[in-house]
Amino acid sequence: MKTIKTLKTVLAASVLLAASNVAQATYVTAFGQPSSVVLTAFDTVLQLGYVRDLGIDYAQFATNLTAGNALAGLTTAGDTTFTTIFAGSDLNDIRWNITAGLNLPGDPDDRLLTSGATSPDITNNDVQSSAVGNMSNFFQGLNSADCQGALVCAGGGASAANAALLWGESFNGAALTKNTASLDDASVTTTNKVLDMFLMSKVSSLDPFGGTVYSGNTKVNITTLDTNFKLSANGTLSTISAVPLPAAVWLFGAGLFGLVGIGRRRQAS
């Protein structure tokens, strides 16, 4: 029964995939320029993948994140491609992440900006190089074959979009830990539904004579950006904002200050 459901899901996604190709885009790799910012989601059991170009590049995204404007300029709305590709999925089996990067000619200039529930296991410069390279190859694959640079793409099997599973689980094997979360939905049992962003940059070490030198074994610098991204079951991207205090709390505080004022006036008289 699950096989038939999976086949129906993939066939339906293929129809939507063809429609999404009407609006063409190019997933910009990190090789020599700021990459696209891409959301990926995938079903780890049914082996289905989804990708969405979020509409801005690494440089703008990094600027927005450091300014506290995590959602600025991003394509946050869900779409029918997302809901169709995962129509037969158990929501508990879906994982997602957000990634962008920069890879300039000088090795120490590499940057990797990725989501994670915890700090990614990028142990040194060489591991980061591998992760950035894998990300760029993944993006490059989205510009050919099934996806052909579509703004939104989904599929299973050998589809370019299905490579989201290989990338998202562990930077395609570059790191040990997963950089993903579950969907933000009441039916999902795990509490791991929120992702922060982590900016990783290579570090040059000092040689014995005091000069800087690139070393593959040097540990990268990791900066945590508290974004609290979450993804709903219809593919809508949002952030968790501060919870406002109930009106009763403010009324209680105002009443308390009023009583203090009355007490002081009585003491003065």
- pLDDT recorded at residue 149: 67
Q: How far apart are CA 92 and CA 182, in angstroms?
A: 7
Q: Supply the mean pLDDT for the chain.
A: 79
Number of residues that make up the chain: 269
Condensed to tens digits (0 to 9), the pLDDT of residues 110-124 reads 889 999 888 888 888
Nearest to 204 by CA among 122, 131, 125: 125
Tell me which residue range forms the domain holding 76. 2-243
Structurally, how many domains does the chain consist of?
1
112 domain residue, yes or no: yes
- Tell me what the mean pLDDT of segment 51-57 comes to: 94
249 domain residue, yes or no: no
261 domain residue, yes or no: no
Residue 26 has pLDDT above 50, yes or no: yes
Q: CA 141, 142, 145, 151: dihedral to nearest 10 degrees?
A: -170
197 domain residue, yes or no: yes
264 domain residue, yes or no: no
**Distances in Å between the alpha carbon of 105 and those of 108, 111, 129, 269?**
9, 12, 12, 79
Model confidence at 140, pLDDT cuts 50, 70, 90, reads: confident
126 domain residue, yes or no: yes
**Distances in Å between the alpha carbon of 164 and those of 3, 31, 159, 250?**
21, 19, 10, 47
Condensed to tens digits (0 to 9), the pLDDT of residues 189-208 reads 998 999 999 998 888 777 67
Q: Which H/E stretch holds residue 58?
A: helix 58-66
258 domain residue, yes or no: no
- Tell me what the mean pLDDT of segment 77-93 comes to: 95
Nearest to 152 by CA among 31, 1, 18: 18
Q: Are 196 and 115 in contact (CB under 8 A)?
A: yes
Model confidence at 95, pLDDT cuts 50, 70, 90, reads: very high
Nearest to 50 by CA among 23, 22, 12: 12
Condensed to tens digits (0 to 9), the pLDDT of residues 175-191 reads 877 789 999 999 999 98
Q: How far apart are CA 127 and CA 19, in angstroms?
A: 38
251 domain residue, yes or no: no
- This prediction has a pTM of 0.78
Q: Which residues contact 112 (CB under 8 A, 6 or more apart)?
A: 99, 101, 122, 128, 131, 132, 135, 199, 200
Q: If you write DSSP's letter for every residue of 136-205 in order, what string do you get?
A: HHHHHHHTSTTTTTBSEEEEETT-GGGHHHHHHHHTTTT-SS---EE---TT---S---EEEEEEE--EE
- pLDDT recorded at residue 108: 65
Residue 17 has pLDDT above 50, yes or no: no
Nearest to 5 by CA among 91, 87, 93, 95: 87
Packing angle, helices 125-142 and 163-170, rounded to 10: 160
Model confidence at 218, pLDDT cuts 50, 70, 90, reads: confident
- pLDDT recorded at residue 227: 87
